[in-house]
Amino acid sequence: MYKNLREFLDDLEKKGEVRRIRHEVSPYLEISRYTDGESKSPGGGKALFFERVKGSAFPVCTNIFGSEQRICMALGVKDLDELGAGIRKYIEFHPPGNLKEIIRTIPMALELTRFFPRTFRGKTPPCQEVILRGEEVNLAALPVLHCWPKDAGPFVTLPLVITRSLETGKRNTGMYRLQIFDKNTTGMHWHIHKDGSHYYNEYRNAGKRMPVAVAIGADPATVYAATAPMPRGLDEMMLAGFIRKKPVGMAKCVSIDLEVPAEAEFVLEGYVNPDELRREGPFGDHTGYYSLADNYPVFHVTALTHRKDAIYNATLVGRPPMEDCYLAKATERLFLPMLQTVFPEIRDYWFPWEGVFHNIVIISLEKEYAGHAQKIMSGLWGQGQMSFCKAIVVVDKDVNPGDPAQVMAALINNLDTASDITLGKGILDVLDHSSPFPNFGNKIGLDLTSRCSGEPPRNRKKINRQIPSPDGLVCIIRAGLPGASACRCLFPEYSQDSQNRILLLSVSRQEQSGRDFAHMLCHLAELEMFNIFILYDEHIDLEDNSLILWKLFNNTDPGRDIFAENHRVVLDACVKGPADGHDREWPDELTFDV
């Protein structure tokens, strides 16, 4: 495994996974344009190394995790499922019952001790080869990226933010973006549901200043561990040690009582005051939209340390696919065995990238009794990070949840819109913009599993009318639906003999609400061969499968934007406004075109 970032970069270069940019580039949008284009190349493109950055003495690397090969290299595996297999070995461990079993467990116990972080024992930790304090600190010397045109400023996008609980003394390492305000202050973007925010509230309630350290550019396993949704109180440095098969070396900070990865490229040391807030954002986020401005704590940097030849590591997030998709995939595979300890009937699961990690999950279930699918939905909505998930789709155990064709076949052939939809309410990710309320809203579950004893039969009335040609459909919608301009029959290969037929429509909303369009659609006799309709804004390319899924998952509030009438269902994936009962600001979509 890799001791530090540079060892990883060297190995990537040997394997032809690095593209070097040798001419001078600007951290204002230019590096982002390169990175966005590379991230969306087939297979995730290459890692990028920018040798000369305008206004800074430090080079920049991006997209280092952004392919299946690179994320596996970063985590020391040939396949990401190896991570889960390693975790499963410890989860399935049973306490010894006799002396013979105790002897057998000794190697496993000794192996566990290898994961604990260790104090750096050399003379000078690499991260402290250069030490700047007080007025010497100038964050402008770092090549921090201004990622998207409407961002409020430059943001540190791959920081390892290290804090310690005031009550328990336990360490947390999380990844929370930092907006650069000036030479020695940044925003501290702690979402209200995150451990960093929880620890901050402990200090705030006690009226005490909170010490904070931020490492930038650590070894790849440690960077990944900071992104992982670990249970509160478990040290992410132990997870990094587990992945590395070697402990993370930690160095004491020079000005505060915290420890940081000794091999980091940069470290920011400082504090957060208990009641000091400042406007932070907007920021182009991983949802593909700008997260809106809000008040967040302020991080005061009192010391900046770094390697003599430090490399600045950054990431760019935006509409999938991007580098963070591969980090999320690693989390999906790593945490499956942990989820199965609570729900052993779950065979597998999949988070489609278009759902941006919190909007939809597909669950493969070994179904045993009536209502089992609904029980899993309820259980997941009350379970840790899964509670943020807006939509849960449950399929049978013989359906591969990661195969879109198999999942869509189950939806087309099984879904009974009258009995298979479960609606609920609960917490949502802070970045969900579709709900009328921040952090709280409607959820939906779809049961696509086979019926078992005790469950009511599905309505198996098939739609027998022939589907018109594409040109014929366009003529029908333009004549009968004012504002409609284009349409697409989804999955026509399934549609002739299926339980459900889906039609996508591009519409110009103007003053009409989604409910208005839904009412017209549900009474348009010429379209009676379809029973499910999805509305999109008129500029959306209905032939772009990734785009239509991304819009559907991100723009739909299940309680407000799903309409059922006359045995038909309409989903509204358009931009919302007051006419739709959405009074919150709707964020702008990310683009480099201003």
Euclidean distance between CA atoms 204 and 186, whole angstroms:
18
Task: Please give the structure tokens belonging to residue 519.
Answer: 């009412």
Segments of 450-586 assigned E as strands: 484-490, 502-507, 532-537, 562-565, 568-572
Task: Please give the structure tokens belonging to residue 417.
Answer: 């819109």
Euclidean distance between CA atoms 584 and 450, whole angstroms:
40
For helices 323-342 and 68-75, what crossing angle results, to 10°? 60
Of 195, 159, 114, 410, the C-alpha closest to 299 is 159
Is 285 one of the annotated active-site residues of the chain?
yes
Q: Are 26 and 35 in contact (CB under 8 A)?
A: no
Alpha helices in 114-251 (DSSP H): 195-206, 220-227, 236-244
Q: 249-252 and 118-119: which strand pairing?
A: parallel
Task: Please give the structure tokens belonging to residue 416.
Answer: 């009974």
Euclidean distance between CA atoms 248 and 246, whole angstroms:
7
Of 70, 58, 61, the C-alpha closest to 11 is 70
Amino acid in the structure at residue 201:
N
SS3 track for 260-277: EECCCCEEEEEEEEEEEE
Euclidean distance between CA atoms 132 and 212, whole angstroms:
16
Which one is catalytic: 36, 219, 235, 285?
285
- Residues 358, 364, 369, CA angle at the centre, nearest 5°? 120
Euclidean distance between CA atoms 93 and 108, whole angstroms:
9
CA distances, 479 to each of 325, 524, 563 (Å)? 42, 10, 22
Euclidean distance between CA atoms 250 and 433, whole angstroms:
39
DSSP at 161: E
Euclidean distance between CA atoms 401 and 342, whole angstroms:
19
CA distances, 251 to each of 77, 117, 241, 272, 402 (Å)? 27, 10, 15, 21, 41
Of 100, 186, 175, the C-alpha closest to 139 is 186
Q: Are 487 and 505 in contact (CB under 8 A)?
A: yes
Amino acid in the structure at residue 572:
D
Cα 572 → chain centroid: 23
Q: Which residues are tagged catalytic? A: 285
